[in-house]
Amino acid sequence: MSEQTTEKAHLFLSLREASLALCFDFRHYEPQLLLFCELIRLMSDGNTLFRREADKNGLWISQPGRRKMRWIEGSELIEYMCEAVSSEDLSPDMLAAICARVFRTRATPAEHPDTGEAGIRIDTGMESFRCRQCGQCCRNLDYRDALTEEDVKRLKALGRNGILDRVGKFKSQEGKPIYRIWMKPGKLELEEACPFLTKVPTENRWSCRIHDVKPTICRQYPVSRKHANMTGCPGFDNKK
């Protein structure tokens, strides 16, 4: 739950940052087949052949310079697209055109105002976002392993032990810490819903009881209009 109304209207990304942001988007969702088809057509100027199959999570794609096609699906397809948009051969114009399609917003080649570095200016659209306090994100999205080490340090520094009691500490396969939220205090069991979400009596809205110190993931959600659209947030819906 964001509970904020205004944000930066645009941001500058270096070319490298723009490629990373595109890969982050691709890896965040299941393969976006229609979008991927559009991007392949755009990047190859129609020279790469591709074909979809009904109800399948992949694409037939031709190899460069050949007509023979190879089936690529799921995470392999996502990595294929990441590699394509990370190519240093892409011009800033092309990268901007890709960003516009992926982030569903205006994106233009630009120079950093201070350093003159080449990059992409992206309109975030966040200035027209308004949190409706519908509680959809708090109730339905999966953020259980999204608490960061910085969040934990911040909560410790503030002495918010009541919140920390609901954080489980685990380790990933690589040995990195995972902070799991929200646990039942003293148990290795997750709560079914966030214990800090409360319904405002007699009103059709929800409120966060730890709004001033809530996790970064909650503060930053949604990061863009597309993110909101893809995850059921009505914060950009001007009709409501």
Q: Does 26 bind ligand SF4 (CB under 6 A)?
A: no
Confirm or reject binding of residue 125 to ligand SF4 (CB under 6 A): no
Q: How far is the CB of 209 from ligand SF4 (least distance, A)?
A: 7
Q: How far is the CB of 221 from ligand SF4 (least distance, A)?
A: 6
How many Å is the Cα radius of gyration of the chain?
Answer: 21
Is there binding between residue 97 and ligand SF4 (CB under 6 A)? no
Least Å from the CB of residue 215 to ligand SF4: 6
Region of residue 34 (phi > 0: left; psi between -120 and 50: alpha; otherwise: beta) = alpha
Amino acid symbol at 73: E
Degrees, nearest 5: CA angle 228-96-65? 110
**Smallest distance from ligand SF4 to CB 121, Å:** 25
- Interacting stretch for ligand SF4, rule CB under 6 A, among 84-92, 93-101, 131-139, 146-154? 131-139
Contact call for residue 124 and ligand SF4 (CB under 6 A): no
What CA–CA distances, in Å, run from 52 to 28, 36, 125, 168?
Answer: 21, 11, 32, 43
Looking at 13, 138, 147, 183, which residue binds ligand SF4 (CB under 6 A)? 138
HSE on the CB side for 89, CA within 13 Å? 4
Instruction: Please identify which residue in the block is written with the tokens 């003293």.
Output: 186
d(CA 89, CA 87): 5
Of 97 and 146, which CB lies nearer to ligand SF4 in the complex structure?
A: 146
Closest contact distance (angstroms) between CB of 74 and ligand SF4 is 28
CB of 103 or CB of 182, closer to ligand SF4: 182
Query: How far is residue 115 CA from its own chain's centroid?
Result: 28
In the complex, which residues of this chain contact ligand SF4 (CB under 6 A)?
1-2, 131-138, 194, 196-197, 208, 210, 214-215, 218, 221, 233-235
